[in-house]
């Protein structure tokens, strides 16, 4: 099966709008799929390719703003461009606060729409790349043993090997061995790289030296 390139989804109940936008978008070099309702769009299987949604605000049954809410954070990789024939300030503010990248009032120029789509596609591409990178990090983290995960959490919090050994009641040599395995399994070239990975994964401890001791604020402890 051939995976398509970037896709522009158009959801508008006005057939004349769908028929005019389809060739315009194709001429710019993108794949296009049009839908007359939000329900028809939601029934389409999801493809993890760069995409954006050109969405009419006024739709039968489930309107554009409600569709945006339903998609929510689950489709952060698919930026939404709203189009409407009767937009107002509150409507625009609501859409933009919910993450829309553009709110266009009909009639709008072809160049305006195509520019918005190009920007949205690039945002989608970047979001998908970030999701793929995070998936790789999670897969690598899953290969760590429970003890290695503990060591990683303490390493990225800034503790020295000796301090980690005391916290976990193991030898410093054992800490060094676990630390080496963590660096190798995570593919980290430096401590700075490991810290960045931990931040993306939401893994780690915040540590501070207080009165000669170590106080830990647990972020995640496996």
Q: Which domain holds residue 48?
A: 7-138
pLDDT (0 to 100) of residue 214 = 41
Name, in order, each residue with C-beta under 8 angstroms of 162's C-beta and a sequence gap of 6 or more. Answer: 172
Same domain, 134 and 30: yes
138, 171, 187 - which closes a domain: 138
pLDDT digits (tens, 9 = 90+) for 6-44: 999 999 999 999 999 999 999 999 999 999 999 999 999
Q: Would you say residue 33 lies in a domain?
A: yes
Q: Fill in the DSSP letter of residue 45.
A: P
How much is the mean pLDDT over the chain?
85
Q: Would you say residue 40 lies in a domain?
A: yes
Query: What beta strand segments (E) does 97-150 contain?
Result: 102-105
Predicted structure pTM score: 0.71
- CATH code, domain with 29: 3.40.50.2300
Q: Into how many domains does the chain fold?
A: 2
Tracing tokens 């501070």 back to the chain, one arrives at 208
Same domain, 111 and 148: no
pLDDT (0 to 100) of residue 27 = 94
pLDDT (0 to 100) of residue 88 = 63
Paired tokens of 184 = 């190798």
- For residue 208, pLDDT over 70 is answered with no
Same domain, 43 and 148: no
pLDDT digits (tens, 9 = 90+) for 140-190: 999 999 999 999 999 999 999 999 999 999 999 999 999 999 999 999 999
138, 160, 181 - which closes a domain: 138
- CATH code, domain with 166: 1.10.10.10
pLDDT (0 to 100) of residue 76 = 79
Burial (CB count <10 Å: 0-12, 13-18, 19+), residue 28:
middle
Measured CA to CA, the distance from residue 4 to residue 6 in angstroms comes to: 7
Do residues 195 and 155 touch, judged by C-beta distance below 8 A?
no
Same domain, 128 and 150: no
pLDDT (0 to 100) of residue 209 = 33
Same domain, 179 and 133: no
Which residues pair with residue 84 across a beta bridge?
105
Same domain, 100 and 189: no
- For residue 202, pLDDT over 60 is answered with yes
Report, as an integer, the average pLDDT of 131-137: 93
Q: Would you say residue 132 lies in a domain?
A: yes
pLDDT (0 to 100) of residue 89 = 58
94, 111, 138 - which closes a domain: 138
If one compares 69 and 151, the residue with the highest pLDDT of the two is 151
Could you tell me the sign of the dihedral formed by the alpha carbons of 118, 121, 127, 128, in that order? negative
- For residue 222, pLDDT over 90 is answered with no
Q: Would you say residue 83 lies in a domain?
A: yes
pLDDT (0 to 100) of residue 60 = 83
Query: pLDDT band at residue 5, thresholds of 50, 70 and 90?
Result: confident
């Amino acid at each position: 099966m051939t995976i398509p390139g970037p896709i522009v989804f158009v959801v508008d109940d006005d057939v004349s709008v769908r028929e005019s936008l389809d060739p315009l978008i194709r001429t710019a070099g993108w794949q296009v799929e049009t839908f007359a309702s939000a329900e028809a769009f939601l029934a389409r299987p999801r493809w993890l390719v760069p995409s954006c949604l050109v969405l009419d605000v006024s739709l039968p049954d489930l309107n554009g703003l409600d569709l945006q809410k339903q998609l929510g954070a689950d489709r952060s990789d698919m930026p939404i461009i709203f189009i409407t024939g009767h937009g107002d300030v509150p409507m625009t503010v609501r859409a933009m606060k919910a993450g829309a990248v553009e709110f266009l009032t009909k009639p709008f120029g072809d160049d305006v729409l195509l520019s918005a789509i190009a920007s949205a596609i690039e945002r989608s591409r970047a979001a998908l790349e970030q999701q793929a990178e995070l998936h790789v990090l999670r897969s690598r983290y899953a290969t760590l043993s429970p003890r290695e995960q503990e060591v990683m959490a303490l390493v990225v919090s800034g503790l020295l090997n000796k301090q980690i050994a005391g916290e976990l009641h193991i030898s410093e040599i054992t800490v060094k061995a676990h630390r080496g395995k963590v660096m190798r399994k995570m593919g980290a070239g430096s401590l700075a790289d490991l810290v960045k990975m931990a931040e993306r994964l939401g893994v780690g401890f915040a540590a501070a030296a207080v009165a000669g001791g170590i106080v830990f604020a647990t972020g995640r402890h496996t």
